Structure 1
């Protein structure tokens, strides 16, 4: 049965005492994972979580994140991951939009006080339980609540009642309007796309998978946590990416899988201590999210000291609304891997719109729709079921996809999608800014960073400081230029192509 509780039970039965997660000095087996998930789910239910209610999980990669997320669906709830870099205001908006009744927080991450930030926001009226991820403790609202003792049988009945067609998760992605949109996926979709990816990558219980992709993103959650449950692989969650720690982990734990953005592999190749490390255990690397240089793929496949000697290097294309759409296959040439995103995975199909050149995708893993936004859903998915991606691309004679441009203004900074309209909305609230436009500009380390063109009197340093208070770090413009006026066409639309020049 394609539900997350069902595949968790199956993993515990099949892989039992095999390690599911290794996080620092702590190892958790698949059987132990099921036990911890059941216990937290029981406490969720005892604190009043009803079937279908939403739980926000806000924190970096950790075993506790996994338990909190899986316990949500085990108790019949819907998971809403929040970006670990978000501010309290941004998370409060997710809570407000979803009506979440439980929020699990990694307080103190990156030296911040996330609990204080969230409590300071007035938009979290629906939240009954505020928990702390590090200890999986519930009820951090400054007062004690009466809770009942839910039974184990009650929790198992909740898990049994989950349907493959129910919404398993809502992952938020920003749109061109600047307001985040919640992409809803059913259990069967979240599991199906993870199964397709794992089969194409040949993932097995013998693999040791270093997960640097954040769990709040579909790449870390669905292509990480769910792939683990399906394959029995051992996952190593990384809270942040540190190149020296990554190399040490690869060497000492004999890591075999390392999917991630191109910047991860570029950092490894450029690391001063790489020659002293044995990274030969790596067998599979899956990258994407940005333009990948052919030479990078070649070096990833080349033997040391020039390269990383990774046996199987592939690229893929996906988006929050469809997770994985295309993927290269083993045996594809370095040029195919670097210049294309591969072919449609089983269950998905692609085509290019004859008039606009836009990539359209259709299939089993296209989202159910956007949360509480039928108009945006209808705009994204047409009557024939084709999802309009907003990317311009071409398909070669083998069906390999190459992205050539963007219909939208989105840019990618360090592997994260940034939508300028959202940044502009935030900056327009600042005194001294009359008009603003944000575009992505090339950056050697991050791929692209934001540049804000500002009309007004606000000093550049103040603009950046204002953005840092309200936006996740990857969204904050790195460059600010003051201009007399923004270039616009006759209809008033900002001509961002001129700004990028």
Structure 2
């Protein structure tokens, strides 16, 4: 069983990790190698920078950057300063990011420089327009992928040690001491079926408890070296990644951009033992595995898409994983069920395992999966109505997924009550895409469904009624400006009308039938 240490708060976990694991490597990111003791020092520095920039306890700090050591330090630094973390999806457009910054009333933003050919800060400024972001007081740029040109009113990462000197260490130590288990640790935005994203709020005690449960199910220890492909902006990368490392002493190896060969190089060079990811990641590794030394691989955790039993077997036989587990969760609960070491391939493939992290799992009469326990979200940001809809009077979280429990308590996901589909491990809600497309001149009616894709699991297909006014290129160009890549429909079909029932509801099962 994994040896974990549960602190009262995330700042407490950073301190405890420095005390327990001191000189062991905490984060390895290219040439940067930080021990747990050094990680604490860097976190304290960032906390002082945030304090110098006017961030107060309870304020929100947003991070829009890929998986690097900077993300780890900035996130933990925000917590250490008493702030609430707001991760931003790096695939979001400037408009989508501005929406999150405004709704979260972020006081500080940590943002990548020119990542994947996009100047994210310029996109944010353009989308903010004349109204700007008046509540945003501090902007810190991360040099990803390289050196940055000077910009007015922006702090660059190399400048931070000097800025930190403006605030005494004792001030941020006092702030870290004051963070309580019930304070809001983070707000993770997730799309909603109404087409508007919702901010999921969790407490420090909850973030740490789900990380502990994940670590225990995976038997993670300080001897593990944990490669994190899952984005840190997602609860999987952040809570089942960064926080698991703090609790167990495992070494974290972030990968900013998934690339099969560089990932395998890293596994060989750094003797990686833990590698979670969506099924598509492991499928892409299999053809490149022959001739590679993958003997260090121990644990794979996957899910978010169907996992064929043959894939589980090949992950064990050809990639060398001694343990392959599947899990089920959502942003509102993070990890609710998980398989355990020793489960056979059929159980790992067919189910998402048994309840963990203190959750109760029940199946409603409609077949909907219900979850209840101490780690259900606190609620949606500024949306008590949506919170009351999601969590009933008896404390059950209504997931919108349909499933079944077997005699051993293993959960099988069988369907979705809602239309949400999963593209490359990311939830996509058609209502949000449809709402965007209805703003395109010439769109008279539209419906989006998920259709099977061999690499990404599912991708979007848009059925558009336009009376001949639009082309497929028009639709794609419109979406590129307004939607993150994983949300954009990969194909468009123009139809004379959408099939509807007597009440006017679109019959999406008829639209997706030919693609099923």
TM-score (norm 2): 0.93
> Given the alignment, which residue of 138, 141, 147 partners 1:132?
141
Distance 1:341 1:11 in 2: 30
Count of residue pairs brought into register by the alignment: 494
Aligned to 1:429: 439
Shift of 1:204: 0.7
How many angstroms does 1:121 deviate by?
2.1
> Which segment is superposed worse, 165-174 or 457-466?
457-466
| In structure 1, distance between residues paired with 2:8 and 2:97 | 30
1:359-418 CA-partner distances (Å, limit 9, x unpaired) = 001112110000000000000000111000000000000000000000010101111111
Q: Residue 361 of structure 1 aligns with which residue?
A: 371
Residue 492 of structure 1, CA deviation: 2.0
Q: Distance in 2 between matches of 1:39 and 1:32?
A: 11
SS of structure 2 residue aligned to 1:298: helix
**Is residue 64 of structure 2 the alignment partner of residue 47 of structure 1?**
no
Aligned residue for 1:348? Answer: 359
Distance 2:505 2:62 in 1: 36
Corresponding residue number in structure 2 for 1:240: 257
1:212-231 alignment runs, 5 A limit: 212-231=229-248
Q: Determine the structure 2 residue equivalent to 1:403.
A: 413
> Partner of 2:423 in structure 1?
413
Q: CA 1:346/1:55 → structure 2, altered by over 3 Å: closer, same or farther?
A: closer
Residue matched to 1:321: 332
Aligned partner of 1:58 in structure 2 is 64
Shift of 1:137: 12
Q: CA deviation at 1:258?
A: 0.3
Displacement, 1:144? 7.9
> How far apart are the structure 1 equivalents of 2:401 and 2:154?
50
CA distance in 2, matches of 1:431, 1:121: 20
What's the secondary structure of 1:423's corresponding residue? helix
Which residue of 273, 287, 305 maps to 2:302? 287
Distance 1:438 1:149, change over 3 A: same
In the alignment, the residues of structure 2 paired with residue 45 and residue 134 of structure 1 have an alpha-carbon distance, to the nearest angstrom, of: 22
2:119 is equivalent to residue 107 of structure 1: no
Q: Which residue of 2 aligns with 1:204?
A: 221
Which one of the candidate residues 311, 332, 341 is aligned to 1:296? Answer: 311
Tell me, yes or no, if the aligned pair for 1:7 and 1:229 is still in contact at 8 Å: yes
TM-score (norm 1): 0.96
SS in 2 for 1:276: coil
SS where residue 101 of structure 1 aligns? strand
Contact 1:360 1:389 in 2 (8 A): yes
Residue 394, structure 1, aligned to residue 394, structure 2: no
Query: Match for residue 455 of structure 1?
Result: 465
Between the aligned partners of 2:443 and 2:134, the Cα distance in structure 1 is 32
Moved more, 470-479 or 114-123: 114-123
Match of 2:210 among 188, 193, 197: 193
- Corresponding position of 1:158: 175
Query: Hey, what's the Cα distance between the residues in 2 that align with 1:482 and 1:280?
Result: 51
Q: Residue deviations 1:277-323, cap 9 Å, x none?
A: 11111100000001111110111112xxxx21210101000100000
Q: CA deviation at 1:143?
A: 3.8
Question: Alpha-carbon deviations, 1:126-149, whole Å to 9, x = none?
Answer: 2111111238999x872489x892
Q: Aligned partners of 2:191 and 2:504: how far apart in 1? A: 23
Q: Is the 8 A contact 1:87 1:469 kept in 2?
A: yes
Q: Which runs of 5+ in 1 are unaligned?
A: none
CA separation of 1:491 and 1:154: change in aligned 2, threshold 3 A:
same
Alpha-carbon distance in structure 2 between the residues aligned to 1:277 and 1:93: 45
Name the CA distance, whole Å, in 2 between partners of 1:256 and 1:125.
45
SS at match of 1:433: coil
Q: How far, CA to CA, are the matches of 1:378 and 1:137 in structure 2?
A: 47
1:130–1:141 contact (8 Å) kept in structure 2: no
Q: 1:137 to 1:73 in 2, by over 3 A?
A: farther
Q: Is the 8 A contact 1:259 1:287 kept in 2?
A: yes
CA–CA separation in structure 2 for the residues paired with 1:493 and 1:71: 48
For residue 372 of structure 1, the aligned residue among 382, 386, 398 is 382
CA distance in 1, matches of 2:465, 2:166: 59
4+ runs deviating over 3 angstroms: 135-138
How far, CA to CA, are the matches of 2:478 and 2:56 in structure 1? 39
Q: CA RMSD in A?
A: 1.8
